[in-house]
Amino acid sequence: MGMASNEPSPFESRQMLASFISSTPLLSDSWRLCTQANAAPFRTFVADRVGASVYVAFSGVQMPGSSDPNSRDLVPLDSIGGVPLFSPRRSKEPDEPVMVHAAMLNLFLSLFNSFQNQMLEIVGNKDTKSIVITGHSIGGATASLCSLWLLSYLQSISSSVSILCITFGAPLLGNEAFSQSIFRERWGGNFCHVVSKHDIMPRLLFAPITFLTTQLNSLLQFWQFSMTSEDFGKLANQISEKEKAKLFDAVMDYLEAASQEGETFVPILFHPFGNYFFVTEEGAVCVDSPSAIIKMMHLMLATGSPVSSIEDHLKYGYYVNKLSSQTLNQEISMQRTIPDSSYEAGLELAIQSSGIANEESAITSAKECLKKTRRMGPSPNLNAATLAVSLSKVVPLRAQIEWYKNWCDEQDDQIGYYDSFKSRDSSSSKRDMKININRCKLARFWNNVIDMLERGELPHDFDKRAKWVNASHFYKLLVEPLDIAEYYGRKGMHRAKGYHYMQHGRERRYEIFDRWWKDRTVTTAAEENKERSKFASLTQDSCFWARVEEARDWLNCVRSEIDANKLSLLWDKIENFEKYAINLVENKEVSCDVLLKNSSYSIWVEDLRELKQLKVKVQRLPHQFTGFLDGEVVP
């Protein structure tokens, strides 16, 4: 057995997660609050504090807004409440847009203003360490969107408050790009979707069932009435047995097609995300692979009936109450026949927990499905160790760039590191060519690190480890000025693309490293506020030269602009950058190359001084003359 076998596979970890969740009050507390939310008169959300944790439950007794809740209409989702949700892909290829169910999003946005301030107040409370956001049925979709907004917001302010979203019988929410974006942000672990064995609601959107719209609206009303009243027998009869069977068969057919390997004859518009916690009479099994989730949804529903598929949506309280005793009973019942391998034992327990242990035709498919979730290849910790070796091999490339910077800064032309690289041309020396090759090699190394992290091939706390946070930060400060020089230099990408580096030219890896550095653990206040006694070896704003290039452009525009309002805006931008740059210099947060006599920054400072002098002279001229210069007709 190799090193990788010493670490649990994702499947084994999911089974440990299932056992852990079953043994904690998380599910029972969440369901208790969901019940309160469903019974609340205003049918929006309720909150409850349990120690350092706050539970927020969204009501499932609500109908989505103007869009048909049974439709499969998808709309783009980029941000919520002004907070961007997902960072852009590193790839320059156009991505499939992130899309979500139109009606679910409309419902969420209609409630957003009512809970936003309360959520921010909860986050701002120093006693709040964690927030559990939950919801039953359609309330689960609202809870998921709320969690995404809150995760994005907390990330933007570097908050340490943890978020867990627990849904019960929630419908599918978004497309494959939506699912993949959550995975790339490594938020999948923040979502636990509890799905009962036969509940048809989480499976509905796999099938285009618009031909049953009337029946589905009756079904939603039946479910929602049942959440607030125990006397729901009469409403159940509004849907005939034939119509129930039609609905069940339609969903089964499309689920079966969706669960087949290779190309299917139907497009899968909606994809699962996060962890799915399947609960049955016999226990629970946790899965996080989208393909495995779809397969388990099909295998488990196939053991049900049209009636049970509807009734199971209302039985989550029953399943939650049984879970703790089920876990204990399963462990006792398996002691006699427990396999030698912990993996095989976990697999047997998962099959038993899924409630299909007596379905011979389904057992083989279920085992194959769960086995595919087992990790193939090295473990995350082994990958991290291998990367550390790779990092040591690229350190010499970085050292050569450091030497190049020092060499540039000592030259008689006094233009410095940034401008030397920017001004190189096709006849550049081998030294410049070597540095450019090193720049590209380092970019490939760090892009590979990010790709591995987003594929889940590195430990979950990788971006918190000081070794990698510090190495990525140093790389960014050293090499990004060269990327900026390349952007504005001989390639002239700012002219070809029509925008500056800060707008669309910056590589995504630098934005990610910004976040790593911002979220790092600072051990002491002295470390955070340490004053410098000499200029930094590297300018602490890796985008400083891009800001200089924009400021140079503003000065050029001032010289030719005749519109007074536009001129005023330009001067505001120039003065703001001037203050920013002076502050960096005074705090010695720039490298000495910034202040060299012929650097782009020094030339900009001199050009600004001359333009200000000219501006003062013009202001001293008589009004009639200045008006004439501005294009006015002087009487």
Three-state secondary structure of 258-323: HCCCCCCCCCCCCECCCEEEEECCCCEEEECCHHHHHHHHHHHHCCCCHHHHHHHHHCHHHHHHHH
- Do the bridges between strand 53-58 and strand 130-136 make them parallel or antiparallel, or are there none, so unpaired? parallel
Instruction: Please count the other Cβ atoms lying within 10 Å of the Cβ belonging to residue 343.
Output: 17
Exposure pattern of 29-56 as b/e (b: 16+ CB <10 Å)?
bbbbbbbebbeeeebbbbbeeeeebbbb
Report yes or no: 134 and 55 within 8 Å, Cβ to Cβ. yes
Give, as one character, the DSSP assignment of residue 136.
Answer: E
CA distance 359 to 294: 18
Is residue 199 annotated as part of the catalytic site, yes or no?
A: yes
Catalytic residue among 101, 136, 198, 313: 313
Q: Measured in whole angstroms, how far is the alpha carbon of residue 631 from the centre of its chain? A: 52
CA distance 197 to 359: 14
Longest Cα separation, the chain? 107
CA distance 448 to 460: 16
Q: Measured in whole angstroms, how far is the alpha carbon of residue 384 from the centre of its chain? A: 22
Report yes or no: 28 and 316 within 8 Å, Cβ to Cβ. no
* Partner residues linked to 99 by β-bridges: 76
Exposure pattern of 529-545 as b/e (b: 16+ CB <10 Å)?
eeeeeebbebbbbbbbb
Burial category of 96 from C-beta neighbours within 10 Å (exposed 0-12, middle 13-18, buried 19 and up): exposed
CA distance 61 to 138: 8
Tokens at residue 294, please? 């779809």
Burial category of 562 from C-beta neighbours within 10 Å (exposed 0-12, middle 13-18, buried 19 and up): exposed
Q: By C-alpha distance, which of 354, 360, 246 is closest to 309?
A: 246
Tokens at residue 421, please? 């690289």
Residue with tokens 């701002």: 124
Q: Give Cβ neighbours of residue 448 (< 8 Å, ≥ 6 apart).
A: none
Is residue 137 annotated as part of the catalytic site, yes or no?
A: yes
Helices (H), 466-619: 466-488, 493-497, 508-518, 525-528, 544-560, 564-586, 600-619
Q: Give Cβ neighbours of residue 320 (< 8 Å, ≥ 6 apart).
A: 27, 28, 31, 194, 279
Three-state secondary structure of 315-375: CHHHHHHHHHHHHHHHHHHCCCCCCCCHHHHHHHHHHHHCCCCCCHHHHHHHHHHHHCCCC
Instruction: Please count the other Cβ atoms lying within 10 Å of the Cβ belonging to residue 132.
Output: 23
Handedness of CA 399, 401, 404, 408 (dihedral sign): negative
* DSSP assignment string, 85-117: -SPPPSSSSPPPPPEEEHHHHHHHHHHHHHHHH
Q: By C-alpha distance, which of 81, 47, 43 is closest to 64?
A: 43
CA distance 62 to 66: 12
Catalytic residue among 59, 137, 196, 309: 137
Catalytic residue among 29, 199, 409, 419: 199
CA distance from start to end of the chain:
95
- Give catalytic residues, as residue numbers: 137, 199, 313
